[in-house]
């Protein structure tokens, strides 16, 4: 189909795609404005898509904050509420894009797609991938194929759901995968070719709980390692509002950690995930001390197949909106687990 006359808002946040080399040190820093990035995209003008460009931030993605994302959500909402655009492209660094896309996906309630993209190779390298990724992202955001998909990540011409996408390599241009499900589709010949149905989504709007917490919510993440003696867990008592546990295998810990985890679960919501990042936490298979059945019986909440990083953001979002009820938190995680991708 022709995309002529379609309108897309582009929000640039910085990242590798916007980096240039410092003439003195040779080190890379985000310095390019959004207009400069788009100017280098061959064939973009020929698409006929009208772009509304916002130079929103100019930061490495590791330095983006939750207030930055909340402000981005508000700015995207203003564009969409105006009825002036058919979709949105967010350009940022790839280090945190799997988390930022998921967080915005929890907030975004519109039908218009929000497409995240970036680059693994900066413009000083041979074969930078930024321009091609921008070109594919604009196509994905402008067309009708991803309406209702929420937030997606488009890199290397592949379309990934925010819920499943992971960065699986530090430098490869093919770093982004969706373990267990594969990509939603492919951008080719000026359109999105879907491989599967669009994902079911869980949105956590403001007001899901009683009263939103006025102070910053702290959700800790603890990764269990071989021989973990529990000292770090002891340090968390009284210092966090929630905890995500990245356990071994399908949701297991050394048996000597169980009393500490039960004590924490009596104080704050503790969500059980796996440090592996591919596959679900089991709920009813193993029953030895420290197994998933033992932990869930002790008050932990099953995190399904969400990665620890995304489970942390979901728990943080629930707590920040005033949802402190353990049953409701567990139901939200269970709903995501049932729906899958």
Task: Please give the torsion angle defined by the CA atoms of residues 326, 233, 310 and 324, in that order, rounded to the nearest 10 degrees.
Answer: 20
List Cα–Cα distances, 152 to 103, 178, 201, in angstroms: 11, 11, 12
Question: Which residue in this structure is represented by tokens 């899901």?
Answer: 208
Helical ranges in 171-325 per DSSP H? 231-236, 258-267, 292-297, 308-320
Contact 78, 47 (CB under 8 A): no
| 27: Cα within 13 Å, side-chain hemisphere | 3
Closest C-alpha to 154, from 174, 169, 175, 137: 137
User: Which are the contacts of 16, defined by CB distance < 8 A and separation ≥ 6?
Assistant: 28, 30, 93, 94, 118, 119, 120, 121, 122, 130
Q: How far apart are CA 327 and CA 128, in angstroms?
A: 48
Which residues belong to the active site?
16
Task: Give the H/E segment covering residue 45.
Answer: none
Rounded to 5°, the CA angle 157-163-165 comes to 40
């Amino acid at each position: 189909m022709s995309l002529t006359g379609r309108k897309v808002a582009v929000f640039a946040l910085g990242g590798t795609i916007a980096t240039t080399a410092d003439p003195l040190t040779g080190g890379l820093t985000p310095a390019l404005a959004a207009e400069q990035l788009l100017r280098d995209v061959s064939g973009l003008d020929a698409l006929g898509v009208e772009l509304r460009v916002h130079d929103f931030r100019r930061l490495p993605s590791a330095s983006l904050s939750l207030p930055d994302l909340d402000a981005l959500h508000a700015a995207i909402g203003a564009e969409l509420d105006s009825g002036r655009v058919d979709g949105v492209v967010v350009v940022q660094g790839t280090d945190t894009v799997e988390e930022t896309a998921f967080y915005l996906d929890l907030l975004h309630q519109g039908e218009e797609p929000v497409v995240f993209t970036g680059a693994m190779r900066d413009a000083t390298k041979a074969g930078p991938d930024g321009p091609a990724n921008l070109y594919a992202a604009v196509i994905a955001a402008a067309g009708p194929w991803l309406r209702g998909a929420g937030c997606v990540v488009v890199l290397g011409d592949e379309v990934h759901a925010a819920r499943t996408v992971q960065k699986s390599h530090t430098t490869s241009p093919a770093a982004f995968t969706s373990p267990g499900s594969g990509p939603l589709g492919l951008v080719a010949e000026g359109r999105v070719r879907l491989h599967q149905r669009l994902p079911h989504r869980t949105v956590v709007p403001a007001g899901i709980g009683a009263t939103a917490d006025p102070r910053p919510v702290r959700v800790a993440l603890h990764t269990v390692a071989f021989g973990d003696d529990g000292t770090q867990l002891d340090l968390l008592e009284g210092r966090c509002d929630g905890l995500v546990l990245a356990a071994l295998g399908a949701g297991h810990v050394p048996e000597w950690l169980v009393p500490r985890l039960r004590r924490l679960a009596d104080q704050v919501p503790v969500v059980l995930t796996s440090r592996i990042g591919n596959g679900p936490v089991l709920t009813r298979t193993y029953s030895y001390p420290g197994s998933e059945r033992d932990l869930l019986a002790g008050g932990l909440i099953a995190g399904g197949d969400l990665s620890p990083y995304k489970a942390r953001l979901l728990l943080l979002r629930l707590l920040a909106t005033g949802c402190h009820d353990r049953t409701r938190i567990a139901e939200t995680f269970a709903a995501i687990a049932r729906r899958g991708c």
